[in-house]
Amino acid sequence: MLEIGNLAIVCAQKKDVSFQIYEGTVTVHLGRGSNHKSLTTHWTDNEKIKEFVYELNHGRFKDV
């Protein structure tokens, strides 16, 4: 649960990124149209959320 705040901050700094929490699921929507991707996990899965933060900051989604 601690990493979810970090993810929210990273998402807020990106132009084409939407952050959603619904019924215990965290979803990050990236890009638009045919370039759209979604990352999804349970809101308490800190390891997966850390991966999302890494991918948005340094990995395959850093330019989104």
CA distance 9 to 5: 6
Residues 6+ apart with CB under 8 A from 49: 3, 4, 6, 7, 26, 41
pLDDT for res 2: 79
Averaged over 27-35, what is the pLDDT? Answer: 92
The half-sphere exposure of 28 on its side-chain side, counting CA atoms within 13 A, is 28
Specify the pairing of strand 25-30 against strand 37-42. antiparallel
Which tokens hold the place of 12?
Answer: 């807020």
Per-residue confidence at 64, pLDDT binned at 50, 70, 90?
A: confident
**Average pLDDT for the chain:** 94
pLDDT for res 43: 94
Render pLDDT for 7-30 as a digit per residue (tens, 0 to 9): 999 999 999 999 999 999 999 999
